[in-house]
């Protein structure tokens, strides 16, 4: 059934009655969400059973998810991979599909979406004996023969996160993935002298580029990574988690092994599955929380000071830094809105609020259990 059913003929003049707009809004919002879900389902269906197998993008992804895949643990939450809206991932896919062919056309022999196969020999860690091979499939974003041959991987980022990438170098998770493609291409006899990451801001299309030579050490690092993941598959529930958990990470919220990883009550969007229950566990988490809160407080003060020093200069390049501005917009003035409702004698909508949690140090205190 569609999100909005036909409601008969529209009035000949005067347009839609304003009182019908809330109904229309609800229907269109539902259609927008359902469109993402349907697109995700189609996208995943194209991948078929490959979804549950280790692929090149898993080399740098969540280590526990990779271990589940390698150990053939059946997904406990397959519907999360199929039925979530997966908006960020889909928007990234659409940008890849539309943009990469044009990017490739600007390069010599630029070829997009090349299927590749990485084969890694495995050895018994105790005896060093050869035990078999692990094959990892993948699809490169772009291969070009320019400058000795190279692989370019496009990574789309959330709005205005490009600044972090420009500063922090390539994320290790992205390095594993792209080195995997490059190693597979070399195994296939294709020259690869460099790898590159093209980070793109999904909000404005701005890009930041990182380039690295691709060496024998890079190849060895790829093989070691695969062997490490294969080793974790012996006890996948003990493999390190790569993300923070439901409600805190959209990767966990869409993970097909969410319940295997965080327990049978874990639900996407709900961080309560992370809650610990024993006194030592609570003490550990509370201490960590208090430590980080203190660090964040200090960092925020420094950030505010440097922010005040920057001020609002003209947009442009300042040394290695670029300053731009988003479009001006309007936001709800909550205080004025409350004032207006009060003046109008309208009831102000309220919702229940839990009392603040107060975590503080009490050195020397021992809990009475
Ligand atoms: S739920 Fe999160 S941490 Fe656990 S396997 Fe999935 S992605 Fe990794």
Query: Has residue 32 been placed in a domain?
Result: yes
Q: What is the CATH number of the domain that holds 207?
A: 3.90.320.10
Do 248 and 287 have their domain in common? Answer: no
Q: What is the mean pLDDT of residues 91-112?
A: 91
Q: Which of 221, 243, 272 is the last residue of a domain?
A: 272
What is the model's pLDDT at position 50?
A: 83
Distance, CA of 355 to CA of 359 (rounded, Å): 13
Q: Express each pLDDT in 289-343 by its tens digit.
A: 999 999 999 999 999 999 999 999 999 999 988 888 878 888 899 999 999 999 9
Q: Which of 218, 252, 272 is the last residue of a domain?
A: 272
Do 38 and 106 have their domain in common? Answer: yes
Of residues 138 and 328, the one with the higher pLDDT is: 138
Q: Which atom of ligand 1 lies nearest, measured to the CA of 252?
A: 2
DSSP 3-state assignment of 120? strand
Pairing of β 194-201 and β 130-144: unpaired
Of residues 167 and 185, the one with the higher pLDDT is: 185
* Predicted confidence (pLDDT) at residue 369 exceeds the cutoff of 50: no
Distance, CA of 218 to CA of 197 (rounded, Å): 15
Do 183 and 229 have their domain in common? Answer: yes
Q: What is the mean pLDDT of residues 217-238?
A: 96
Q: Residue 2's pLDDT band (boundaries 50, 70, 90)?
A: low
Do 302 and 174 have their domain in common? Answer: no
Of residues 361 and 218, the one with the higher pLDDT is: 218
Mind giving me the DSSP string for 105-118? HTSTT-EEEEEEEE
Number of domains in the chain: 2
Query: Has residue 48 been placed in a domain?
Result: yes
Query: Has residue 239 been placed in a domain?
Result: yes
Cα 129 to ligand 1 centre (Å) = 32
Q: What is the mean pLDDT of residues 13-39?
A: 90
Which domain range does residue 281 map to?
276-314
What is the model's pLDDT at position 94?
A: 92
Do 265 and 152 have their domain in common? Answer: yes
Do 60 and 117 have their domain in common? Answer: yes
β-sheet with 150-157: strand ranges across: 111-123, 130-144, 150-157, 194-201, 207-213
What is the model's pLDDT at position 88?
A: 84
Exposed, middle or buried by CB within 10 Å (0-12, 13-18, 19+), for 180?
A: buried
What is the model's pLDDT at position 287?
A: 93
Cα 222 to ligand 1 centre (Å) = 22
Q: Which of 211, 240, 272 is the last residue of a domain?
A: 272
Q: What is the mean pLDDT of residues 239-267?
A: 95
What is the model's pLDDT at position 366?
A: 60
Do 159 and 199 have their domain in common? Answer: yes
Query: Has residue 8 been placed in a domain?
Result: no
Distance, CA of 257 to CA of 80 (rounded, Å): 9
Pocket of ligand 1 (CB under 6 A): 62, 64-65, 241-243, 251-252, 255, 257-258, 261-262
Q: How far apart are the first and last CA of the chain?
A: 57
Q: 80, 252, 260, 265: which to mutate for ligand 1, most atoms within 8 A of CB?
A: 252
Q: Express each pLDDT in 43-78 by its tens digit.
A: 888 888 788 999 999 999 999 999 999 999 999 999
Do 33 and 152 have their domain in common? Answer: yes
Give the DSSP H or E segment for 297.
Answer: helix 279-310
Do 88 and 110 have their domain in common? Answer: yes
What is the model's pLDDT at position 130?
A: 94
Give the least confident one: 166-170, 182-186, 294-298, 309-313. Answer: 166-170
Do 255 and 201 have their domain in common? Answer: yes
Mind giving me the DSSP string for 184-233? HHHHTT----EEEEEEEETTT--EEEEEEE--HHHHHHHHHHHHHHHHHT
Do 179 and 48 have their domain in common? Answer: yes
Q: 70, 75, 262: which to mutate for ligand 1, most atoms within 8 A of CB?
A: 262
Distance, CA of 191 to CA of 211 (rounded, Å): 16
Give Dmax (Cα) for the chain: 84
Q: Express each pLDDT in 254-288 by its tens digit.
A: 899 999 999 999 999 999 999 999 999 999 999 99
What is the model's pLDDT at position 223?
A: 96
Do 290 and 225 have their domain in common? Answer: no
Q: 89, 251, 256: which to mutate for ligand 1, most atoms within 8 A of CB?
A: 251
What is the model's pLDDT at position 159?
A: 64
Cα 242 to ligand 1 centre (Å) = 6
Q: What is the mean pLDDT of residues 349-362?
A: 85
The 10 Å CB-count burial string (b at 16+, else e) for 300-323 is eeeeeeeeeeeeeeeeeeeeeeee
**Torsion angle in degrees (nearest 10) through CA of 77, 81, 86, 88:** 110
Q: Which atom of ligand 1 lies nearest, measured to the CA of 241?
A: 3
Query: Has residue 357 been placed in a domain?
Result: no
Query: Has residue 365 been placed in a domain?
Result: no
If you average pLDDT over every residue of the chain, what do you get? 90
Cα 257 to ligand 1 centre (Å) = 7
What is the model's pLDDT at position 137?
A: 95
Residue indicated by tokens 């420009």: 166
Query: Has residue 67 been placed in a domain?
Result: yes
Distance, CA of 254 to CA of 341 (rounded, Å): 40
Q: Express each pLDDT in 82-98 by its tens digit.
A: 878 888 889 999 999 99
Segments in 11-161 forming alpha helices (H): 21-47, 63-70, 78-83, 87-105
Query: Has residue 73 been placed in a domain?
Result: yes
What is the model's pLDDT at position 9?
A: 54
Distance, CA of 225 to CA of 60 (rounded, Å): 9
Top mean pLDDT of 123-127, 259-263, 353-357 is at: 259-263
Residue 98 in contact with residue 52, Cβ under 8 Å?
no
Quote the tokens at residue 314: 């003209």
Q: What is the mean pLDDT of residues 199-217?
A: 91
């Amino acid at each position: 059934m569609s999100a909005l059913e036909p409601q008969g003929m529209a009035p000949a003049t005067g347009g839609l009655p304003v009182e019908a707009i809330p109904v229309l809004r609800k229907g269109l919002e539902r259609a927008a969400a359902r469109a993402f879900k349907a697109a995700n389902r189609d996208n995943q269906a194209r991948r078929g059973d490959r979804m549950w197998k280790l692929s090149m993008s898993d080399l740098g992804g969540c280590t526990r998810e990779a271990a589940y895949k390698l150990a053939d643990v059946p997904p406990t939450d397959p519907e999360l991979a199929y039925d979530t809206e997966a908006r960020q991932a889909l928007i990234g896919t659409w940008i890849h599909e539309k943009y990469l062919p044009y990017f490739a056309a600007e390069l010599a022999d630029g070829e997009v979406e090349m299927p590749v196969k990485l084969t890694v020999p495995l050895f018994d860690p105790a005896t060093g004996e050869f035990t078999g091979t692990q094959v990892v499939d993948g699809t490169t974003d772009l291969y070009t023969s320019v400058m000795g041959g190279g692989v370019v991987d496009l990574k789309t980022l959330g709005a205005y996160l490009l600044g972090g990438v420009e500063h922090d170098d390539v994320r290790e998770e992205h390095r594993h993935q792209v080195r995997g493609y490059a190693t597979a291409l070399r195994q296939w006899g294709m020259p690869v002298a460099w790898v590159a990451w093209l980070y793109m801001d999904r909000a404005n299309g701005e890009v930041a580029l990182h380039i690295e030579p691709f060496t024998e050490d890079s190849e060895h690092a790829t093989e070691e990574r695969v062997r490490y993941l294969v080793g974790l598959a012996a006890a996948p529930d003990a493999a390190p988690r790569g993300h923070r958990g439901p409600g805190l990470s959209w990767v966990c919220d869409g993970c097909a092994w969410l319940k295997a990883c965080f327990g049978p009550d874990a639900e996407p969007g709900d961080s309560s599955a992370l809650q610990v229950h024993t006194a030592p566990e609570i003490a550990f988490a509370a201490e960590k929380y208090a430590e980080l809160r203190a660090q964040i407080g200090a960092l925020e003060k420094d950030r505010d000071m440097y922010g005040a020093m920057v001020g609002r200069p003209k947009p442009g390049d300042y040394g290695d830094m670029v300053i731009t501005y988003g479009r001006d917009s309007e936001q709800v003035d909550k205080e004025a809105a409350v004032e207006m409702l009060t003046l109008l004698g309208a009831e102000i909508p309220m919702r229940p609020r839990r009392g603040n949690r107060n975590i503080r140090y009490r050195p020397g205190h021992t809990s009475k259990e």
